[in-house]
A and B are shown apart, each in its own frame.
Chain A
Amino acid sequence: MVENTLSIKAVDFNFYYGSHHALKNINLDVMKNKVMAMIGPSGCGKSTFLRSINRMNDLIEGTQAKGALLFGGMDVNEKSVDVTRLRREVGMVFQKPNPFPKSIFENVAYGLRVNRLFNGRDDLNVKVEQSLREAGLWDEVKDNLNKNAYDLSGGQQQRLCIARALVIRPEVILMDEPTASLDPISTAKIEELIQELKKNYTIIIVTHNMQQAARVADNTAFFMLGELVEYGETSKIFTKPDKKITEDYITGRFG
């Protein structure tokens, strides 16, 4: 594990939806093997930033990025960047679990199959098992790998989606409110999982739950109206933020 090395760096990064200036001059470093949480009121730009990293915003028409968003030394918006490859290295987990209408096994195996990242049936089995273990789901599903993924509970489905993201060995995992639709026990499992995963991955999480950010993140970024208001160690942000507006937001005085 490499300590204190940079994973993602935003330099004067701006993002526009048509004429709407959604992100304004964002400068931010995301360190490897750390969990970075993004908080802020709805529409503050945190999800836009998240989705800029693996260029999910490309799917929306009329968007434009300015400035640099560096990953692995390359600007992700460079013309030469292979978006498919970028998304292999920067995996994503969404708010609602979205498994494929396939078996548990095939959900995880899918990424290996389409990317031809396995060497024979045994290797496929090993890799699927490994990812399901990493996602903390293996013990619950090992006897039912052929069961349809839709038969799993919401929390299990979300862990399945995490296993699906892990199987192709990304460097970064983006999580957009990954526990918003889960009960407290499933939420706790995902949060425990995040702590385990950061040993091998860099995690960026968007959450509306302040306590969740406080629990899981090493660093926290507070966004407001498209600007990065404050960014620093989570322990500092949640005990003594530098800016009054950050304090007002995290203590529920607005937003």
Chain B
Amino acid sequence: MERHFDEELEALKKNILKMASMVDDAVHKSVESLVDMDIEMAEKLIEDDQIIDLLEVQIDRQCLELLAKRQPLAVDLRFITSLQKINNDLERIGDLAINVAHASIYLSKHPPLKPLVDIPKMEEETRKMLRQAVSAIVEKNPAAAREICLKDSEIDSLYVQVFREILTYMMEDNNNIKRGIRLILVAKHIERMADHVTNIAEDVVYMLEGKTIKHHIDV
């Protein structure tokens, strides 16, 4: 039986996909502005964050209304509550992109410390994870979501690598410390983004299978 409720759930999903795509774009542009030393792009990104914030509030309200109005159960209940959490994680990723944009404004005003290789790589991998999480929602593919959780450790390793490398620059010359710390923070922000993507993937598994896999609990 086709339910009117399904249309409402579909509308909610569309908004989450829109949110994910905006956040994905923000993450990409934040690192792009860092690599290209493009202050204008970073400033625009910071300004546009309010669009993401507004959408977050709208999705949150949409979820609450559906819970109140439909009193959903089982698959419907898991769908709405999971999307509500995913919405929150997406917004946090958006905020982290803004942190990167702020760092990029500072760093663009100073000579580059080093060519950026691993940070763009971290960004690229994190966005791949995010896009895979979104596909897992669309294709209802819990296996794809589980894979994402495994990839998080690769990002963690990249972060450690970036940290060590920049540390050597800072030990060589005191003048590198201010820029070095900012670059390390950028790497940390991206590493945190990947953690949020992992949360999203865990929620997708719960949404699709009703199984909790976070904190390595599998029930």
Contacts and interface: CB of A to CB of B under 8 A. Distances in A.
Identify whether the interface residues of A are mostly helix, strand, loop, or mixed.
Answer: helix
B74 A214 contact: no
A116 interface: no
9 contacts: A214-B73, A237-B74, A239-B73, A239-B74, A239-B77, A247-B74, A250-B73, A250-B74, A253-B1
A254 B71 CA distance: 17
Interface string A217-255: 000000000000000000001111100001100111110
Contacts of A254: 1
A7 to B, nearest CB: 27
A240 B76 CA distance: 10
Contact of B3 (A210, A237, A246, A252): A252
Contacts of B76: 251
A239 B81 CA distance: 11
B77 A238 contact: yes
Given A252-B3, A253-B1, A254-B1, A239 B71 contact: no
Contacts of A84: none
Contacts, number: 34
Contacts of B5: 252
Contact of B75 (A210, A211, A237, A247): A247
Interface in B57-106: 71-78
Interface residues of A, number: 15
Contacts of A238: 73-74, 77
B77 A253 contact: no
Contacts of A247: 74-75
B112 interface: no
A240 B210 contact: yes
Interface residues of B, number: 13
B73 A251 contact: yes
A137 B102 CA distance: 66
A252 B77 CA distance: 12
A241 B1 contact: no
A132 B13 CA distance: 51
B74 A251 contact: yes
Contacts of B210: 239-240
Contacts of B3: 252-253
Given A240-B74, A250-B73, A251-B76, 17 more contacts: A210-B73, A237-B74, A238-B77, A239-B73, A239-B74, A239-B77, A239-B78, A239-B210, A241-B74, A247-B74, A251-B74, A251-B75, A252-B1, A252-B3, A252-B5, A253-B1, A254-B1
Q: Which 3 A-B pairs have the closest CB atoms?
A: A240-B210, A238-B73, A247-B74
B87 to A, nearest CB: 20
Nearest to A255: B1
Nearest to B72: A251
B77 A211 contact: no
Nearest to B76: A251
A214 B75 CA distance: 15
B131 to A, nearest CB: 27
Contacts of A241: 74
Contacts of A253: 1, 3
Contacts of A210: 73
A162 to B, nearest CB: 26
Contacts of A246: 74
Nearest to A240: B210
A252 to B, nearest CB: 6
A191 to B, nearest CB: 14
